[in-house]
Structure 1
Amino acid sequence: MIDNFAVKFGRYGGLFVPETLVAPLADLSIAYDRLKKSPQFQDELKALQKDFAGRPTSLYLAPNLSRKLGCRVYLKREDLMHGGAHKLNNTLGQALVAKNMGKTRLIAETGAGQHGVATAIVGAKLGFETQVYMGEVDIERQKMNVYRMELMGAEVIPVRSGSRTLKDAINEALRDWASSFEHTHYLLGTAAGAHPFPSMVRDFQSVIGQEAREQILEAEGRLPDSIVACVGGGSNAMGIFTPFLKDDVRLIAVEAGGRGPGMSDKMADNGASLGYGTDGILHGALTKILQDPYGQILESYSVAAGLDYPGVGPELAFLAEKGRVLPRLADDRTALEGFRALSRLEGIIPALESAHAIGYALREPESLGDLVIINVSGRGDKDLATVMDYENN
């Protein structure tokens, strides 16, 4: 169903949820609309961003990568955030909303583990009981992040249903929230799902683009020709794209091409919902999803756990349909090339998610223009075992 408080992006978005979730979503929407206008709330959030999370993050001119690509390449260094990824921007904001609503417990889903870590961080910082749902497949490939969550007091709950990855972790978290919302806040990690999550997550992540806009104008005296970001659900992409939407800047959204372009009849074999998806409902919103002709959700795949998701945020689906955001693919091999290249050229080990953006730039430098910003959404410590296994197989 669609209630009248639900925001839509063109035909995408909305509120397609069981009746049990309408009330908590409405309460969250009302609370967020009130708090985002509160100077006290904004001051508390900015103080945490600066003193606890380490903002602003740097915009780094990468000289060696620039020479290789034949253009000036700046990296927005979200890997330097406390916790090692952009995810803390959102968890700090949502946890403060939950605190103001009187909630005492946080639940979250995670794929690559970075959102789970960021949720564990704010749970410890702000005194919440914290539980994180994580697919068994992702638990196995992200053992270090599981330990980090547990070290900070969060309970990691294995999800054994479906593909045992991010999609299924979200399903389990939603089931939990439906029966516990009186004292629990569901801290969704990406700019997807039912309203108000796509708008709220975008707003909290847009600090990335706000900083990048000011920093590039100071460094170069003009805006970039293009901005490149990886896309799973879309939080880091919407975070850096949003402040540039009205500007003449190419916004390139690099999705997971998986083992290579194309889909089989049994498995998407990628995470490219913008490139290969069709209209459907996933996790409470109408958006682009990977599905078979009968409307069954396909199993997505990517070497990067955070991009292993068969849908995308509704606002990104809308912007891609309008042509404002340009969907592109980077398969596993391209991502691994990006991972190695940034490590060797600049001494920066990126997350495998971010490496898709780097790999695309290496493969398609002519699409970037003379001045480009690439969003390095996270650091790659969590992925070292995955890369070593990939290279040994």
Structure 2
Amino acid sequence: MGGPPARGRFGEYGGRYAPESLVEACREVGEAFREAWADPGFRGALARLLAVHAGRPTPLTPALRLSEELGVRLYLKREDLTHTGSHKINNVLGQALLATRMGRRRLIAETGAGQHGVATATAAALLGLEATVFMGERDIERQALNVFRMRMLGAEVVPVTTGSRTLKDATSEAMRHWVGATGDSHYCIGSVVGPDPYPWMVRELQRVIGDEARAQCAAELRTGVPDHVVACVGGGSNAAGTFAGFADTPARLVGVEAEGGAGAARGRLGVLHGCRSLFLQDGDGQITQAHSIAAGLDYPGVGPEHAHLRDLGRARYVTVTDDEAVRAAVRLARTEGIVPALESAHALAWVIRAADDGDLPAGSTVLMTLSGRGDKDVSTLKELL
């Protein structure tokens, strides 16, 4: 999990399966990012924005009461405390700075839970850019708060009415729109998916999570490294960023997917949205519809680096049901005073289950990335509780 992968490949996964009209645009983004990432001026400008605008570094919070109940030492990496309320701002500030460096005046984005859309609208407002966000009609209905936030920030929110009307279709529409707008627009992909260079670029912009957590664990833990590092996985950006900080340690990496969107756990080799990875498919090889109570996990595949880590055995991928995630969200709220996003609650649900059934031995240290806060999910939770 270091530098850019050769030919954009993570083992047999990745690549650039894009329409001819987007191949050159992707190549330009890749070259621009490599130059920017090697430029101390760009890195310094991003670090300053992450500090003074996004609120980094985020704290490492010991979950004291829940740890006592579970018999493990659970630490939460608090991405919910960033400006806009999730890890998405880390990636978007980097891509927005890159867009201005490339002379682009507009950001295009897709969003499921709305957090990436809010982050994109926020960065665009901050840097004086336009923003167009594609969002599935179904997600617009269940994430009304974030839709209002995007529009208040000045972004255009485009409803997507095709297919499942969720994240997969929003991504498809955003990519189609970019075909006719490459001259003045930058496509700000929200996860470690899509054609090269996006899986690597987004991981590098999110590795601030893992790098910070690694240093914080070194100061907090007697061993310096947790036994387990856990994060939820849809496309997989918060997990990729977290895992990057611990890839060269003995820590066991665990990615937690939604039961109805388990690309890494149950997917088969295929191509979608410009990259070769693991996707849910029917017997004819057609991409099937994912389902999750968490809109950000409602995606039928996983980023190519996660597929590669699975094959290598370096990371383990498990699934959690909607009911388990809801129960975990309530339990964290009532033991630690933290209402997590339903996406993050999936990761916590696995920690709870694994501690209860002995998959996490008593006394284990667990670092879990709390990727976002639960404000956006209050309406969903209210209907269920």
TM-score (norm 2): 0.96
CA distance in 2, matches of 1:5, 1:169: 29
Runs (5+) with no aligned partner, structure 2: none
Counterpart of 2:328? 338
2:277 pairs with one of 269, 272, 287: 287
Letter of the structure 2 residue corresponding to residue 271 of structure 1: G
Deviations 1:53-89 (A, max 9, x none): 0000000111011101101110000000000000000
Q: Which runs of structure 2 are paired with 1:360-375 in the superposition (5 Å)?
A: 360-365=350-355, 366-369=358-361, 370-375=364-369
CA distance in 1, matches of 2:250, 2:161: 45
CA distance in 2, matches of 1:137, 1:282: 21
Sort the Cα spacing of 1:373 and 1:20 in 2 relative to 1 into closer, same or farther, 3 A.
Answer: same
- On the 8 A contact 1:79/1:376 being kept in 2, the answer is yes
Counterpart secondary structure, 2:311? helix
CA distance in 2, matches of 1:6, 1:102: 26
Q: Is the aligned partner of 1:190 residue 2:191?
A: yes
Q: Which runs of structure 2 are paired with 1:271-350 in the superposition (5 Å)?
A: 271-350=261-340
2:349 pairs with one of 359, 363, 371: 359
CA distance in 1, matches of 2:7, 2:128: 31
Deviations 1:32-66 (A, max 9, x none): 01000000000100000111100000001110111
Counterpart secondary structure, 1:45? helix
Counterpart of 2:249? 247
Q: Which runs of structure 2 are paired with 1:170-189 in the superposition (5 Å)?
A: 170-189=171-190
Counterpart of 2:111? 110
Aligned residues: 376
CA distance in 2, matches of 1:63, 1:243: 24
Question: Post-superposition shift, 1:5?
Answer: 7.7
Counterpart secondary structure, 1:367? coil
Q: Alpha carbon RMSD of aligned pairs, Å?
A: 1.0
Counterpart of 1:138? 139
Counterpart of 2:170? 169
Deviations 1:236-287 (A, max 9, x none): 0001001211111110100001xxxxxxxxxxxx000111100000101110
- On the 8 A contact 1:6/1:196 being kept in 2, the answer is no
Q: Is the aligned partner of 1:61 residue 2:62?
A: yes
Counterpart of 2:210? 209
- On the 8 A contact 1:5/1:26 being kept in 2, the answer is no
CA distance in 2, matches of 1:33, 1:87: 21
TM-score (norm 1): 0.94
Q: Is the aligned partner of 1:381 residue 2:384?
A: no
Question: Post-superposition shift, 1:367?
Answer: 2.7
CA distance in 1, matches of 2:283, 2:384: 32
Letter of the structure 1 residue corresponding to residue 11 of structure 2: G
Question: Post-superposition shift, 1:351?
Answer: 0.1
Question: Post-superposition shift, 1:389?
Answer: 1.9
CA distance in 1, matches of 2:210, 2:375: 24
Letter of the structure 2 residue corresponding to residue 305 of structure 1: A
CA distance in 2, matches of 1:239, 1:60: 18
Deviations 1:324-349 (A, max 9, x none): 11011110011011100100000000
Counterpart secondary structure, 1:244? coil
Letter of the structure 1 residue corresponding to residue 17 of structure 2: F
- Comparing 221-230 with 78-87, which one deviates more in the overlay? 221-230
- On the 8 A contact 1:225/1:368 being kept in 2, the answer is no
Counterpart of 2:228? 226
Counterpart of 2:40? 39
Letter of the structure 2 residue corresponding to residue 223 of structure 1: V
Counterpart of 1:101? 102
Deviations 1:93-124 (A, max 9, x none): 00001010000011100000000000000010
- Comparing 240-249 with 303-312, which one deviates more in the overlay? 240-249
Letter of the structure 2 residue corresponding to residue 304 of structure 1: A
CA distance in 2, matches of 1:230, 1:5: 27
CA distance in 2, matches of 1:115, 1:237: 15
